[in-house]
A and B are shown apart, each in its own frame.
Chain A
Amino acid sequence: MYQVENAGQALRSRAQLIATRLFAPRVSRTVVMLGLTSLFTDISSEMVSTILPLYLLFHLGLTPVAFGVIDGLYQGSAALVRIFGGAAADRSGRHKEVAVVGYALSAVARLGLLVVGNMWSLLPGVILVDRLGKGIRTGPRDALISLSSPREELGAAFGVHRALDTAGAMMGPLIAFGLLVMAPGRYDAVFVVSLCAALIGLGFLTLFVQNPPIVADVPAERPALSLASAARLVRVPGVAPLLLVGTVLSLVTISDAFVYLTLQRRVAFDPKFLPVLYVATATIFMLTAVPVGRLADRLGRARVFLAGHALLLVVYASLLVPGAGTLRVMLALVLLGVYYAATDGVLMALAGAALPPEMRASGMALLTTGTNLARLAGSILFGVLWTWQGVGVAVALSTAGLAAALLVAVWWLRVR
């Protein structure tokens, strides 16, 4: 009995060791703190964004279409601000301070939601401030993660950050709905708690994150805010292919909403379960971000990045095959979640390895902007195809496009 128990214990501890290595790798304190910052900030922003349509429509009597147009415009302005945020961080070497400005702007926007109240004409301004804050902080934050991590553990570092970030994004809506169940119609309570979460996130960043020393004393050669510096950025070996691959692959990516809608049409489940698909994908993403990031560090990040897109290709191809089944939906969701784990943080890890420290924030901002704009263009394109040619043609073309882009990407990234 004693022996068996002992053996079991040994097995358990060995399993624990493997689990610890794969699921909780040693990443720097700064990365964990940045992850916690994102976790609380995402709780805050997702709380607001899930109830915003309800709030605008039912509390303020605003119309969704008008709001949608405004929202689209702001996403464009956020892209510009993102590049500016990255460049400002690189120029000053003060990544943390620039990120603080971005996170603080979003916290101010939460306060704005409370203060604006029934004066609904001021709401677009408040939302703009939030989007600007989000734009500013992305580049410096990702640069901080990469600068605080050893080169060989970048994948794991981004994995930890993305896992925490996604956890926050999943908790936000639950907290918001919980509050509305406790206090029906009291949106102000959601805004207050959201503000609190934003402040705690800001607290993690300001109090526990420091600029890594390599950034603090960068040599005199600080990139100026100019087109020339952007050109120099692209000339850095390994950056241009990354930018091209990231953009082209994003262009042929179908937005999740369309994937879910296609699944829903294939399997014909009640549309009210659509949110469950989002939650399922996010859960898989959260659970696999760290191990897949770690795997990327071991096997090669480009390989894992492309393998992730290969999984996506499987998802698209499965959408083309007729026939239905819950199992297929579940498989598609798992693959989609792993795809995110293998691409989202891993792309930034690739960029972190390729970009010199003094150009990292602006380079990462440029890469994020490129992929985001390409994804937006791709989803508009897909929507048009869907409308004109029907869902079958649209998915088939996207699948073919993704396959072709993947082949080109293998060649560009020289993956053997």
Chain B
Amino acid sequence: MSSAPPRDRRRAAFATLVAACVVAGGGYTVWAAHRAKSGPGMSGGGPEAHWEAAAGHALIRPSGPTVMFRNGIAGQDWGEVALVPTAAPTAPRTVVPLRCQRLHFAAGRGLCVAGDPGVFSTYNAYTFGSDFAVTHKVWLTGLPSRSRVSPDGRYGAITVFVAGHSYSDGTFSTKTTLIDLASGAQLGDLEAFAVFRNGQPFKAIDFNFWGVTFTADGDHFYATLLTAGQTYLVEGAIEAREMRVLRPNVECPSLSPDGTRLVFKKRVGGGGRTAPVWWFHVLDLATMTETALAETRSIDDQTEWLDNDHVLYQIGPDVWTVPADGSGEPRRFMRNALSAAVIRSAGSLSPKQTRTLSLPSADLAVTMAAAPNPVRVGQDLTYTVAVSNRGPAAANDLGIDVRLPPAVTFGALGRRSPPTTPHSCYFRDGYISCSLYGLASGESWVVEFTLKPNVAGLIRNRVRVDGTQPDPVPGNDSATVETAVIGPGP
């Protein structure tokens, strides 16, 4: 072999490369197709699921409000619609056989945006009833973005990105369509509605609408209008097919269940070539006063009201919650869930069949230490966070968050041990967040980071760990450390 001319050897090397690639690529595809069909659960702490036949009769009788969402736990139920009581987000998930990419539900009618990507990238919206059987199909032309159902279950709204395939030109075009959920008929594009501003007709070719939220009276809605680079809050009437502009800089409004307040994202910075910065605000419709919520991260989502005092929103694969009056602080509501819709109204859901996705419990615990204490202004303050899994089962996919207090500057992320534990950590918008792929029972993981205090006083810092699985001892999931800061040294 060694005497083979270079050209032959190159050919042999190339043949080997191609063979290896074909075998690896083909093998992986076959395996992926197999997983997609039968979907073996994750190793350790995997979901146990079984179908319960429930032909025809009400299987789920929600005793209280329920949250419906797209399940994000890997395994055979990934991507299916699931339900849990809002009071117990880590309770076993009731999975129904319906796959949606976005969904919303109210008063016995739902909207499910789905579609297998094809050459034409077509997506469809499906309407469904409380038995989760599809009633109508609506063709969508574009990449679906948001969907909402009116509180009385009569109307649905879907927004798609029409020119959203090429994001690099910075512009985008949206199309929002209203749907009669009972008949599946399209009530038309919002761009066909008459718009009034200060009593005068208002019209421009670049109108874009999105972020519809319906009132409970069965005719009105709020939405976002974008024209000439400025967003506006509009209030619309479906029967009259008209809208009026209320105020600027309101995106993705979401109406509270009592109809008195809107939580929306307000643009507070960025733009041009930098990412826009949004903060959630609440607008009191009686007084038209705005209050910023305690979530300081920039989030591009339309919130969903958990109850009259809290909203839910998406960060990555998780749903978070924050009080809707500016008080308190953000908290993870549930892991691995997308497109949460809160079902408030009484009435039972009667899917033809369900599965229960119950994960084995794992007691996660976290501790935090800080040194030195006291610390001088401008001096490095090092925190050591230790996460451990006290079992009994292995824990998959943990999230660790530290929300930095004001008056400190982030220094750096430090040592992580054991370094072989797969993880990702980053600092963004005042949060240090880590994701851990898994932690076996009895295993621990440590991460260090440094801060620099800017002013003298007391620093209170809190860390929280959240898993997808039920935690029998929730009391040890967070830890707080207080450090005294004294003036700069002599």
Interface residues of A (CB under 8 A from B): 51, 53-54, 57-58, 60-73, 75, 116, 118-122, 173-174, 177, 179-186, 188-189, 192-193, 195-197, 199-200, 203-204, 207-208, 255, 257, 261, 270-273, 275-276, 379-380, 383, 387, 390
Pairwise interchain contact B167-A64, C-beta atoms closer than 8 A: yes
Docked pose: A182 CA to B22 CA in angstroms: 17
Q: B71-116: which have CB < 8 Å to A? A: 78-79, 101, 116
Interface residues of B (CB under 8 A from A): 10-11, 13-14, 17-18, 21-22, 24-25, 28-29, 32-33, 35-36, 78-79, 101, 116-122, 139, 141-143, 145, 161-172, 205-206, 228, 273-276, 300-301, 314, 316-317, 338, 397, 424, 426, 428, 433, 435
Residue on B nearest A384 in the bound complex, by CB: B171
Docked pose: A58 CA to B338 CA in angstroms: 9
Which of A186, A257, A261, A380 is the one whose CB lies under 8 Å from B170? A380
The smallest C-beta distance from B95 to any residue of chain A, in angstroms, reads 15
Pairwise interchain contact A207-B14, C-beta atoms closer than 8 A: yes
Which of B21, B24, B161 is the one whose CB lies under 8 Å from A64? B161
CB contact under 8 A between A261 and B163, given known A68-B170, A122-B424: yes
Residue on B nearest A198 in the bound complex, by CB: B21
* CB-based closest 10 A-B pairs: A68-B167, A119-B424, A189-B32, A63-B300, A196-B21, A196-B25, A186-B32, A183-B32, A183-B33, A183-B36
Hey, which chain B residues are within 8 Å of A75, CB to CB? 168
Pairwise interchain contact A200-B162, C-beta atoms closer than 8 A: no
Hey, which chain A residues are within 8 Å of B163, CB to CB? 257, 261
Pairwise interchain contact A257-B35, C-beta atoms closer than 8 A: no
Hey, which chain A residues are within 8 Å of B170, CB to CB? 68-69, 72, 380
Hey, which chain B residues are within 8 Å of A380, CB to CB? 169-170
Docked pose: A71 CA to B161 CA in angstroms: 17
Which of B17, B101, B424, B428 is the one whose CB lies under 8 Å from A199? B17
Docked pose: A204 CA to B11 CA in angstroms: 10
CB contact under 8 A between A193 and B165, given known A61-B316, A183-B36, A380-B170: no
Pairwise interchain contact B29-A66, C-beta atoms closer than 8 A: no
The smallest C-beta distance from A110 to any residue of chain B, in angstroms, reads 11
CB contact under 8 A between A275 and B169, given known A73-B273, A183-B32, A193-B28: no
Docked pose: A63 CA to B313 CA in angstroms: 13
Pairwise interchain contact A196-B22, C-beta atoms closer than 8 A: yes
Pairwise interchain contact A71-B167, C-beta atoms closer than 8 A: yes
Hey, which chain B residues are within 8 Å of A182, CB to CB? 29, 32-33, 36
CB contact under 8 A between A193 and B119, given known A61-B316, A203-B18: no
Docked pose: A276 CA to B165 CA in angstroms: 14
CB contact under 8 A between A273 and B120, given known A179-B29, A185-B79: yes
Question: Which of B29, B35, B36, B142 has most chain A Cβ within 10 Å?
Answer: B29
Residue on B nearest A193 in the bound complex, by CB: B25
Which of B18, B78, B165, B314 is the one whose CB lies under 8 Å from A53? B165
Pairwise interchain contact A189-B275, C-beta atoms closer than 8 A: no
Pairwise interchain contact A275-B32, C-beta atoms closer than 8 A: no
Which of A54, A204, A257 is the one whose CB lies under 8 Å from B117? A54
Docked pose: A272 CA to B101 CA in angstroms: 19
Hey, which chain A residues are within 8 Å of B28, CB to CB? 188-189, 192-193
Pairwise interchain contact A53-B25, C-beta atoms closer than 8 A: no
Docked pose: A174 CA to B165 CA in angstroms: 16
The smallest C-beta distance from B230 to any residue of chain A, in angstroms, reads 12
Docked pose: A192 CA to B32 CA in angstroms: 10
Residue on B nearest A66 in the bound complex, by CB: B275
Pairwise interchain contact A69-B275, C-beta atoms closer than 8 A: yes
Docked pose: A351 CA to B101 CA in angstroms: 49
Docked pose: A61 CA to B336 CA in angstroms: 10
Pairwise interchain contact B164-A70, C-beta atoms closer than 8 A: no
Residue on A nearest B79 in the bound complex, by CB: A185
Hey, which chain A residues are within 8 Å of B35, CB to CB? 183, 186
Docked pose: A179 CA to B145 CA in angstroms: 24
Residue on A nearest B72 in the bound complex, by CB: A61
The smallest C-beta distance from A346 to any residue of chain B, in angstroms, reads 25
Docked pose: A300 CA to B35 CA in angstroms: 57
The smallest C-beta distance from B142 to any residue of chain A, in angstroms, reads 7
Which of A57, A69, A119, A193 is the one whose CB lies under 8 Å from B435? A119
